[in-house]
Amino acid sequence: RTSNCVYLITCKTCQKMYVGETKNTLLVRFTQHRYNILRRKGTNTHLVQHFLIHGWQSVTATVLESNSDWTAQQRKWAERLWIMRLDTAHPGGLNEAKPRAVSSS
């Protein structure tokens, strides 16, 4: 039920992680990821490719941080910080690219 959040998807098989952000509830966004994996949509992403191999049943999702007052830009900023903090950029993780350093300006 948490919305406007940064979340973590973890593969229970190999522990690789993906950090994402959503204005929607985590349940809605998690369902979108699941749909993409089961319907093989967005197969060019590391996240979808990974779970096509490991199976959707090996997925867990957790809210890392949420704030009902975040703007889209603030949410993206928090996502980048978590990607760097947890080192979830490919190849060690499932995020697409290593984010640039985030400035407070």
Architecture label for domain 3-86: 3-Layer(aba) Sandwich (3.40)
Q: What is the pLDDT of residues 48-97, one digit of tens each?
A: 888 888 887 888 899 999 999 999 999 999 999 999 999 999 999 999 87
**Domain assignments of the chain as residue spans, ordered by start:** 3-86
10 Å Cβ neighbour count for 66?
A: 17
- Please tell me what DSSP assigns to residue 102: P
Report how far residue 42's alpha carbon sits from residue 46's, in angstroms, rounded to the nearest whole number: 9
Tokens of residue 44, six digits:
């060019």
- pLDDT greater than 60 at residue 104: no
